[in-house]
Structure 1
Amino acid sequence: MHSDLFDRIDRTVTEHNMLCPEDRVVAAVSGGADSMLLLHYLLSRRERWQLKITVAHVEHGIRGESSRADAAFVRDFCARQHLSYFEKAIDAPGEAKAAGMGVEAYARQTRYAFFQSLGCDRIATAHTLSDSVETMLFRLARGTGLRGLTGIAPVRGKIIRPLLDCTGEEVRAACTALHIDYRIDESNADERYSRNAIRHTLVPDFDRVHPGFMQNAARTLQNLQADEAYLQAQTAELLQAARTLNGLQTAVLTAAPLPLRRRAVTAYLEEKHFPVDALHLAQLDELLASGGRLQLPGGFAHVQRGVLTLEAAGAPPAAAIAYEQIVVSVAEFLTIRELSQIKIDFYCDYDKITGSVRFRQRQAGDRISPAGRGCSKSLKKLYCEYRVPHSRRALPLVAEDDLGIIAVAGCCCDQRVGVDATTRSVLYVVSHTED
């Protein structure tokens, strides 16, 4: 049976072009059945695809000793298998509260930022068909559009989900057949969480009412995903036709059918980091016809001389940007900078930093001595020199340690912490902005 399951995973990988020869793959492994089967699958195909596999684990600090035991389990497995392993421990509840975000959203954002920071061609996660169907039902209950009903995408950027055509039950059975040990997250049985109630109550009830529910739901997801892909392509064409130098032509938008028009406006709002909701979309649709000005949660929309433009009210809140700090050797950093496609906001000599690194907004009188330039410059002038958009200037771009400013994200680092011939360890920083 497990051979048949791996063959099915092969078909999923091939159908969605998930892997290429010699790919560097980061496997996101929690220690549960799904992720351990994913890791065993990747290891079984390592020689065939000539893959370079790295395992990554995030310990969220939510479940105490049990969570730390999960990390130790994955760490020990990788040590026995001589696998490259990276681990990150966070205090998700505390850090999420400080950032003004929900714990789940913050943990997810931090996880993916960490995976991206490792420098890879693919990030493999262990989402299954069961996860995708549960996601569809969760969003349906909460209220959503077509995109929300398509479940979990097989591929999104670098992220691949090879197990997406396998149910959770099939995965656990394969683990038993293959003698694959895994950890059990006791919180998955707590039906106070909506997703657990869907998994343990709603899905079994559907299956009793109509046996074969999971397979039927899988076909529904495939149909909806095909429809969504078509509409996304149509939306992209509409946006391209409507674009001007600083906005969208209203005549092009209003000539399009309402569903496509709303999709195009939604995509434009998301592109500019404006919050989107049904009420403001309806008001924006009226604005396209009438012209004028509309206040939005993120600023203002204007329709003048047949062009829709957006004006940000200051910058997005500080919680909209998160920073990942990674310390590596000089050799590792040179490899990451050469081979990785991630955008590094700044890097510096880790051993020259005093205390911890913190991020804040620019303040009056702030100055920096850019490394290698032999001068001091006000941050106000630096922002102009680097053409930092006004919409970003109120973000916490300034990095400081206990002695003062060490860098400005996206610009430069200070001479005091600059990398030189004596540098042994490099701190590099990657930012992640929530759309």
Structure 2
Amino acid sequence: MLSKFRDHLNNNLSFLKEKKLLLAVSGGLDSMVLTDLLQQLNYDVSIAHCNFNLRGKESDGDEDFIINYAKENSFHYFVTHFNTELFASDNKLSIQVAARKLRYLWFDELLQENNLDYLLTAHHLDDSLETFLINLTRGTGLEGLTGIPQQNGKIIRPLLPFTRDEILVYAKENNIRWREDSSNASDKYLRNKLRHDVVPVLKQLNPAFADSFRQTLENLQQAQSLVEDASVLIYKQVVSEKENQKHFNIEQLKRLPNYKAYLYQWLSPFGFTAWEDIYALVDSQSGKYILSGNFRLLKDRETLILEPSSNGNNLSFEITEGQQYPEAPIKLSLAIAQTINKNATKKTIFVDNELIKYPLILRKWQEGDYFCPVGMNGQKKKVSKFFKDEKFSLSEKESALLLCSGENIIWVVGHRADERFKATKTTNTILKIEVL
């Protein structure tokens, strides 16, 4: 196995040779074999071990085992302790998810603080198979069937081509010591149940199952690569990006032979899971939307708009007199001007500085708001009616901001100023307000 492992690194992960590596070591069979293999090949490795305090004396025994091993073999090592159960309770997470979150946060800290280049974990082919089966049972797209990736940013998994049986044989032939995790014997977790009850049946049905699965993974990964390439090319034809929004042209989308597959590919990274609802949104009435954790997909006429979820209408910012570039959700400039530019765009207004009262308030609109739009001879108009007449989308209404003097609206920012505050030829002090 050592020669196969060396060839695998040289052919696929050659960039690791001169790097400083951090190896996640639990003390179990897989991580101890990976540690030995890297030591045999003279890689620059430091060891990191997490004590999750979940198995009492057994957890402490794992820690002592790792510390003694590191000292005996002259490894630089890091050890930390977590109150995993408390963290899981406080953050409403399962123990498994909590432990994963804690360890990867710590690994990331170690990489940064010690100028280490990559984190290596001991995931192998059987782990990838179990992940494949877990995703299959829960329902997934193509990417969920491609197994565990060999590289994910700074995380590298060099044992992925090797089976658990190969790793065990190497350990026995080389007298490698390891610790057994008693929780691995429990069928309480889905992964263990698949490992104990399902995978052995598959291997019994096909003695060469490991090789078949390895080839299947390779085929699926190549297919996923093709999907991603096509997705990028089609994306440019269907989607336009505007500030923090993505606009999907429904007419262009429906021309695709299988637009649902493209929607899945484009939207799944944003946490959406209600796929049938999303597909139905394409033909639903304007104004309907689907929420994920942090994003919203809105149907607006002939467009699907992807944007961060709205934070409500409670945003309010004060602008004091003399602030030229106030801290606000949008970049504004306020400056005294000598003349009025009659050719200014909707992004700029000129107001009578003596008519306004500081601090100015920049806020979201509310039901009942009204103003006197420039050009309407002082007639009042509800902001909601203005939005309707100007054909604002739901998203545009929610993001609209009002600049106010006390209770009075000076400007529907970027759209229409109020007649009552506009600068004229007789204005003594002209204030120019501009969206940058």
The alignment's TM-score, normalised by the length of structure 2, stands at 0.65
Q: CA deviation at 1:213?
A: 1.7
**Corresponding position: 1:122 with 2:118:** yes
In the TM superposition, 1:216-227 aligns within 5 A as: 216-227=212-223
Query: Residues 87-124 of structure 1, C-alpha deviation per residue, up to 9 Å, x if partnerless?
Result: 12112222111111222112112211211211232111
Task: Describe the shift of the 1:14–1:276 C-alpha distance in structure 2 as closer, same or farther (beyond 3 A).
Answer: farther
Partner of residue 279, structure 2 = 282
User: How many aligned residue pairs are there?
Assistant: 309
Matched residue of 2:141: which SS? Answer: coil
Q: CA deviation at 1:34?
A: 0.4
The answer on whether the counterparts of 2:282 and 2:304 sit within 8 Å (CA) in structure 1 is no
**Corresponding position: 1:65 with 2:57:** yes
Q: Select the residue among 226, 230, 233 that pairs with 1:234.
A: 230
Task: Describe the shift of the 1:265–1:209 C-alpha distance in structure 2 as closer, same or farther (beyond 3 A).
Answer: same
Task: Describe the shift of the 1:12–1:286 C-alpha distance in structure 2 as closer, same or farther (beyond 3 A).
Answer: farther
The answer on whether the counterparts of 1:34 and 1:171 sit within 8 Å (CA) in structure 2 is yes
Q: CA deviation at 1:18?
A: 5.8
Partner of residue 104, structure 2 = 112
Q: CA deviation at 1:240?
A: 4.5
**Corresponding position: 1:7 with 2:3:** yes
Tell me which of the two structures has the higher relative contact order, counting C-alpha pairs closer than 8 angstroms and 6 or more residues apart. Answer: 1
Please give the alpha-carbon distance, in whole angstroms, between the structure 1 residues aligned to 2:15 and 2:174. 24
Partner of residue 248, structure 2 = 249
The alignment's TM-score, normalised by the length of structure 1, stands at 0.65
Q: Percent identity between the aligned chains?
A: 27
The answer on whether the counterparts of 1:31 and 1:73 sit within 8 Å (CA) in structure 2 is yes
Partner of residue 129, structure 2 = 133
Matched to 1:220, the amino acid is T
Q: Select the residue among 151, 161, 165 that pairs with 2:157.
A: 161
Q: Select the residue among 142, 147, 152 that pairs with 1:151.
A: 147
Please give the alpha-carbon distance, in whole angstroms, between the structure 2 residues aligned to 1:259 and 1:212. 36
Q: CA deviation at 1:61?
A: 1.7
Q: Select the residue among 24, 36, 41 that pairs with 1:40.
A: 36
Partner of residue 337, structure 1 = none
The answer on whether the counterparts of 2:282 and 2:299 sit within 8 Å (CA) in structure 1 is no
Please give the alpha-carbon distance, in whole angstroms, between the structure 2 residues aligned to 1:54 and 1:383. 45
CA RMSD after TM alignment = 2.7
Partner of residue 331, structure 1 = none
The answer on whether the counterparts of 1:234 and 1:260 sit within 8 Å (CA) in structure 2 is no
Partner of residue 169, structure 2 = 173
Partner of residue 296, structure 1 = 291
**Structure label with greater radius of gyration:** 2
Please give the alpha-carbon distance, in whole angstroms, between the structure 1 residues aligned to 2:135 and 2:223. 18
**Corresponding position: 1:306 with 2:306:** no
Task: Describe the shift of the 1:7–1:110 C-alpha distance in structure 2 as closer, same or farther (beyond 3 A).
Answer: same
Q: CA deviation at 1:264?
A: 3.8
Please give the alpha-carbon distance, in whole angstroms, between the structure 1 residues aligned to 2:227 and 2:99. 31
- Which structure 2 residue ranges, 5 or more long, are not aligned? 317-325, 332-363, 365-436
Task: Describe the shift of the 1:179–1:301 C-alpha distance in structure 2 as closer, same or farther (beyond 3 A).
Answer: same
Partner of residue 84, structure 1 = 76
Partner of residue 401, structure 2 = none
Task: Describe the shift of the 1:286–1:41 C-alpha distance in structure 2 as closer, same or farther (beyond 3 A).
Answer: farther
Which structure carries more helix by proportion?
A: 1
Matched to 2:222, the amino acid is A
Matched residue of 1:228: which SS? Answer: helix
Matched to 2:233, the amino acid is E
Please give the alpha-carbon distance, in whole angstroms, between the structure 2 residues aligned to 1:277 and 1:247. 19
**Corresponding position: 1:214 with 2:225:** no
Please give the alpha-carbon distance, in whole angstroms, between the structure 2 residues aligned to 1:14 and 1:228. 25
Task: Describe the shift of the 1:275–1:9 C-alpha distance in structure 2 as closer, same or farther (beyond 3 A).
Answer: same
Q: Select the residue among 25, 29, 54 that pairs with 2:25.
A: 29
Matched to 1:249, the amino acid is F
Query: Residues 100-159 of structure 1, C-alpha deviation per residue, up to 9 Å, x if partnerless?
Result: 122211211221121121123211110111111121122222222211111111111111
Matched to 1:43, the amino acid is Q
Please give the alpha-carbon distance, in whole angstroms, between the structure 2 residues aligned to 1:248 and 1:45. 51
In the TM superposition, 1:179-190 aligns within 5 A as: 179-190=175-186
Partner of residue 102, structure 1 = 94
Please give the alpha-carbon distance, in whole angstroms, between the structure 2 residues aligned to 1:281 and 1:22. 47
Please give the alpha-carbon distance, in whole angstroms, between the structure 1 residues aligned to 2:9 and 2:119. 13
Matched residue of 1:243: which SS? Answer: strand
Query: Residues 342-372 of structure 1, C-alpha deviation per residue, up to 9 Å, x if partnerless?
Result: xxxxxxxxxxxxxxxxxxxxxx9xxxxxxxx
Please give the alpha-carbon distance, in whole angstroms, between the structure 2 residues aligned to 1:383 and 1:58. 42
Query: Residues 303-357 of structure 1, C-alpha deviation per residue, up to 9 Å, x if partnerless?
Result: 4363523241449xxxxxxxxxxxxxxxxxxxxxxxxxxxxxxxxxxxxxxxxxx
Partner of residue 266, structure 1 = 267
Partner of residue 333, structure 1 = none
Q: CA deviation at 1:70?
A: 0.9
Please give the alpha-carbon distance, in whole angstroms, between the structure 1 residues aligned to 2:298 and 2:329. 27
Matched residue of 2:26: which SS? Answer: coil
Please give the alpha-carbon distance, in whole angstroms, between the structure 1 residues aligned to 2:209 and 2:92. 39
